[in-house]
Every structure is written in C-alpha cells, then in structure tokens.
C-alpha cells in the first residue's frame, strides 16, 4: 500500500486509505473500501492503472458515482476513480477528445462554446464522460453513442487500444464496455457546426426541463432513474416510470429510502438510507410492476458489492 501511495504522488493522483464510499456516490450510500485513488488526468489514470496491474491488485473503476449503489458492507477491492475537477478537452476541427474523468456536462459546455452541435441533449446529466460512454447515457431520445467516434481504453493486461464507436455494440443504456474489463481513458466525439445562440437556448430549455423533473441530487441524494425503460421488440420504448406510477410506487418507502414524489422511477435517500433499504425498495417496486403487468424491470443503476 505504501508503494502505491508513493506512486500516486508521482502520478499527481490522490491516494486515500480506508475510505467511506458514501462520500463518492450521489446516493450518499455505501460502506468502505480499503483505498481509493482519484486520477485527475489521463496521464495519472494510465500511470496508476499500470502500477495497480503490475501489482496484480484487484480493483474497480468509478467515475463520479452517479449511477451506482454501493453495498453497506462496502468493497474489499481498491477503487480507482477516474475523475478530475478541471476539464481535459481538446478540439480538432469538429472532433472533441476528452479525458474520461472530465464531467460530461463540461464536455457539453465546451462543445456549445465551440459552436458545435450534437451533445446538447446531455446537458445536466451528472457524472463523467467515461461513465456516460460505458452506460451509453442519454436523454430526449438521443444517446452518447450517436456521436461517439472512438474510445481509448486500457485492458487488464495494461495494453492501450483504440476502439471505434461502431465496434462497441451500443444499444439503449448498453455497451460492450459495460461487460468488458477495459478502462476508458479518453474518447472522441464527432460533432457538427452549429449556431451558438440556438445551442444556448437548447441547453437552457433542457436544463429547465431536467430541473422540473429530477431531484437535485446534492439535496436529495439519488442515482437518477433506478430502472431501465422498457424496450419492445420493434425498438419502441415506454418509460418504466409510467408502469411504476400505475402501481402506486410514488407513495412507497423502505427505511430511509423512498420513491421521489415527482418521478416514480427515482429512489431517493431521505438522509439515513442504507443500501439495503434502497435494494429492498427496488425489489418491492419491481414486484408490484410484475404482478400487474408481467414486466420484469431491470436496474439501470449498477450495484457494487454484496446485496443478498
């Protein structure tokens, strides 16, 4: 551990020992991890990954923790956090390349400021660019894979690869990256020339809409939509929130976890919720929808640690 701490200093990464993961998730829930390393740049992420892989230490990667539920027992592995407060973004013509640990919304703002169109839909989506790519984040019928050119990843052998977006099997909230062990270092998006004032008003409209529908996770901790929407065989989708609303989910709670009154697919932490409370509440919600509609909801939020 001491060697890793030393290496983190050299790589300008931040090492913490015996860390409460609730401080690193938007749910504000989660037990401890033995150590957490925050990597603010692609160089620091690469350096840390190489060292961790050399030592053969088991680890998981986190971005801003806005799409995860960490168990109350925490994790027994090291956490490598790809996240930096300062955006790392480069522009070459209509292509933007950004560090995976840059906030998604900072990439959106950079694109808008450069009068480039194609990312406005992602205005206000919490989390990092890397997290958005892995989960194919989206809103208003668009998703990040629509404009993704390529990703640069490191595999668990320490080899770096560039993978074109069209080879990543993207679909609704899905990607090959979700099922591989690769770590996204950076990615490039291909955008179109746009008009700054139109892009500004699109962003303002989207932020206002999000503000009216979603809780502010800084005041009401949550991880956004808990379940994926329903995708029918013809590709059409129906919001899981609709089904959850029909079965009265807006009124239910377990311990400190409750369904957000404004959106039946969002679970909030009312202050003292445990991961167990959230998990049990999600099971009740799932069961109610199954009993009435014979539809099995699938979680969008990724569960880390032991829940059974």
Ligand X SMILES: Cc1cc2nc3c(=O)[nH]c(=O)nc-3n(C[C@H](O)[C@H](O)[C@H](O)COP(=O)(O)OP(=O)(O)OC[C@H]3O[C@@H](n4cnc5c(N)ncnc54)[C@H](O)[C@@H]3O)c2cc1C
For ligand X, the closer CB: 20 or 115: 20
Contact between 69 and ligand X (CB under 6 A)?
Answer: no
173 part of the active site: yes
Instruction: In angstroms, give the least distance from the CB of 210 to ligand X.
Output: 7
Contact between 40 and ligand X (CB under 6 A)?
Answer: no
Phi, psi at residue 304, to the nearest 5°?
A: -115, 130
Integer angstrom CA distances of residue 282 from 61, 252, 298: 24, 10, 10
Specify the DSSP class assigned to residue 180: S
Q: How many residues touch ligand X (CB under 6 A)?
A: 32
Among candidates 4, 1, 121, which has minimal Cα distance to 51?
4
Contact between 183 and ligand X (CB under 6 A)?
Answer: yes
177 vs 187: CA distance, rounded Å: 13
Residue from 42, 47, 120, 224 that binds ligand X (CB under 6 A)? 224
**Of 63-71, 227-235, 249-257, 280-288: span binding ligand X (CB under 6 A):** 63-71
Contact call for residues 167 and 148 (beta carbons, < 8 A): no
Contact between 120 and ligand X (CB under 6 A)?
Answer: no
Contact call for residues 73 and 305 (beta carbons, < 8 A): yes
Contact between 264 and ligand X (CB under 6 A)?
Answer: no
| Residues in the chain, overall count | 308
Given 173, 174, 203, 282, the catalytic residue: 173
Integer angstrom CA distances of residue 49 from 163, 185, 223: 19, 10, 26
Instruction: In angstroms, give the least distance from the CB of 122 to ligand X.
Output: 8
Residues that bind ligand X (CB under 6 A): 26, 60-68, 82, 100, 125-128, 130-132, 134-135, 137-139, 183-184, 214, 217, 222-224, 302
């Amino acid at each position: 551990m001491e060697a890793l701490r030393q290496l983190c200093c050299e790589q300008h990464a931040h090492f913490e020992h015996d860390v409460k993961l609730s401080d690193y998730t938007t749910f504000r829930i989660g037990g401890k991890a033995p150590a957490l390393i925050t990597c603010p740049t692609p160089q620091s992420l690469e350096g840390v990954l190489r060292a961790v892989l050399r030592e053969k230490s088991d680890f998981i990667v986190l971005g801003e923790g806005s799409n995860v539920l960490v168990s109350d027992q925490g994790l027994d592995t090291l956490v490598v956090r790809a996240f930096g407060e300062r955006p790392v973004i480069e522009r070459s013509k209509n292509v933007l390349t950004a560090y995976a640990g840059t906030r998604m919304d900072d990439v959106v703002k950079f694109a808008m400021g450069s009068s480039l169109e194609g990312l406005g839909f992602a205005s206000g989506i919490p989390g990092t660019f890397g997290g958005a790519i892995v989960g194919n984040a989206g809103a208003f019928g668009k998703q990040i894979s629509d404009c993704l050119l390529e990703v640069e990843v490191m595999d668990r052998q320490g080899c770096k690869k560039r993978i074109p977006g069209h080879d990543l099997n993207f679909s609704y909230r899905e990607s090959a990256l979700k099922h591989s062990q690769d770590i996204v270092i950076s990615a490039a998006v291909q955008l179109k020339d746009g008009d700054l004032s139109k892009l500004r008003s699109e962003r303002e409209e989207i932020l206002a809409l999000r503000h009216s529908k979603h809780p502010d996770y800084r005041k009401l901790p949550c991880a956004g939509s808990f379940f994926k929407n329903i995708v029918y065989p013809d590709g059409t989708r129906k919001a899981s929130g609709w089904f959850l609303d029909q079965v009265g989910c807006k009124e239910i709670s377990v311990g400190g976890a409750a369904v957000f009154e404004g959106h039946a697919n969002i679970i909030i932490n009312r202050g003292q919720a445990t991961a167990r409370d959230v998990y049990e509440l999600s099971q009740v919600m799932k069961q109610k929808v199954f009993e009435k509609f014979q539809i099995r909801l699938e979680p969008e939020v990724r569960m880390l640690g032991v829940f059974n």
